[in-house]
Amino acid sequence: MSGGRRAARNTAALIASRLVSAVFSAALVVYAARRLGDAGFGSYSFILVFVSYFYAVATLGMRDLIVRDVSREKEKAGAYIGTASALSAVRGAVSVVLILAASRWIRGAEGIRAPLAIAAVSVLPTALYSPFDAIFRAYERMDYSASVEALWNAARVVGGIAALAAGGGLTALLLVFCLAEAGKALHACAWCSRAFRTGDWTFDPSLMRYLAGRSFPLMIWGLVGIIYYKVDIIMLMQMRGPGEVGWYSAPYRVIDLLTMCALFAAQAALPLLSEYHRRGGDLFPSLARRLLAWFVSAYLAAACLLTVFAAPLVAAVYGPGYAPSVPVLRVLGWSSVLVATSYLFGNILMAMDRYVFAVKAAVLTTALNVVLNLVLIPRHGAAGAALATLIGEIATFAVLYAYIAGHGPAGFSWRLLCAVLAASAAAVAASWGALALRLAPLPAGAMAAGCCAAAAWAAGLVRAGDLALLRRIARP
């Protein structure tokens, strides 16, 4: 099977898995939001975000490194599994201790210490799952990762809903999550041992030093990324309380669902981008440019529809108590365009072996995001946090695009940038124009999406030659 077809298969597998998982997760989010109330749902969201910071210490950094190295030299898979598992266990245990220690300094955590402690323990099995997931990806069998994650996410959701329905509350819900993470790690371990000829799983001290050292910048990059995307929830909790966190988290879940397709498409394209970059020639810049154009076109259309349908969508999914989430969803919808391109830029830089710059850029833009939240949250609450996210994403796009355009063979040009900006301006004008005309949602959505598609075509983001490029990539 050719590289392009494998990338397409892997993208489809990951997206299909996440779509199935998303259906279950959406049911849980809606049920939890209604069952726990805005304050309880805010506490639930706060715990998940707080613990996610420590996932970076436990899991991030190594996966992409393992994928890159093992995909090139599969005979080393056994050593990577054994060594990375040992390192993940150490990192996971350290993360659990750090969470429990740090929770004592969090304002408002007194009433949620039990569920927070259970969530902390779930970091350990999550860390142990990560090396097996990396091996699946290195062998370009992301359908294995997709199957394992879909199965155990479904178990987590069904168990979580049952726990809430039985009156178990937040503690019982997070206990179900912890058990599901443990089941996922064991399942992946068993499957990896049977599915691939990885050789003996050995521990190599020199490889451990290599993984710890080389993964550190990637870990910092991931940690900064989590801080960047989630710091607003922590700050909302401290400044405005759990109710405001609930109003912000509810639409943020919609955006997470929306941007997952871009995340997995970018991850599935990484092996192909890396191979084309190694070969040289015009395939790497051609693919990088077209991926950017496709990502922007698709997410501009989605942002238009979210702007128009925000009010009925929030009312139908979360209920009338979440009316303050409507403007938040509209603003975050436009940030999804930039989040999608950030995922793509990160994988392009990884393929070019220039990911260290992404770490530096992430640190700067995270600092900007924190400052913006400090200014906007006290005045505007959840809507201010959404606006801070949008401004921060604009800054991230500008920095990464300029760097890639000036320091690599990706072929990013100012002409392409102008096309992206022109299409974006037309999409914003169309969607907000449809709202200003006070049209019904369906005709307003049709008007906005049609204008967005026409703008993308006129700007050259979508063109007839795209199919020819796809056929070229798909050749053996």
Q: Per-residue pLDDT tens for 166-185?
A: 888 888 999 999 999 999 99
Encode pLDDT of 181-212 as tens digits: 999 999 988 888 776 666 678 888 888 888 87
The two three-digit tokens of residue 116, written as one number: 């927070």
pTM over 0.85: no
Q: Quote the CA–CA distance of 191 and 193 in Å, as a whole number.
A: 5
Mean per-residue pLDDT over the chain, rounded: 82
The two three-digit tokens of residue 100, written as one number: 């429990």
- The DSSP call for residue 112 is G
HSE of 368, CA atoms in CB hemisphere, 13 A: 18
Instruction: State the residue for tokens 């969803």.
Output: 329
Query: Pick from 336, 340, 398: which is nearest to 365 by CA?
Result: 398
HSE of 212, CA atoms in CB hemisphere, 13 A: 14
Do 175 and 121 meet the contact criterion of CB atoms below 8 Å apart?
no
The two three-digit tokens of residue 176, written as one number: 């179900």
User: Residue 333 CA to chain centroid, in angstroms?
Assistant: 15
Give the orientation angle of helix 123-138 with respect to helix 62-72, to 10 degrees: 30
Q: Averaged over 465-473, what is the pLDDT?
A: 60
Q: Quote the CA–CA distance of 31 and 317 in Å, as a whole number.
A: 10
Encode pLDDT of 75-130 as tens digits: 788 888 888 888 888 888 888 888 888 877 776 666 778 888 898 898 899 888 88
Encode pLDDT of 408-423 as tens digits: 665 688 888 888 898 8
Q: Where are the alpha helices (DSSP H) in 280-324?
A: 283-318
So what's the pLDDT on residue 476? Answer: 44
Q: Where are the alpha helices (DSSP H) in 319-413?
A: 325-351, 355-407
Encode pLDDT of 253-303 as tens digits: 888 878 887 887 887 777 778 878 877 777 788 888 888 888 999 899 999
Q: Quote the CA–CA distance of 300 and 452 in Å, as a whole number.
A: 7
Q: Averaged over 133-144, what is the pLDDT?
A: 80
HSE of 358, CA atoms in CB hemisphere, 13 A: 24
Do 221 and 21 meet the contact criterion of CB atoms below 8 Å apart?
no
pLDDT at 375 over 90: yes
pLDDT band at 162 (very low <50, low <70, confident <90, very high): very high
Encode pLDDT of 40-55 as tens digits: 788 888 888 888 777 7
Return the higher-pLDDT residue of 165 and 24. 165
User: Any idea which of 57-61, 238-242, 348-352, 399-403 has the lowest mean pLDDT?
Assistant: 57-61
The two three-digit tokens of residue 447, written as one number: 């008007």
The two three-digit tokens of residue 315, written as one number: 């009312």
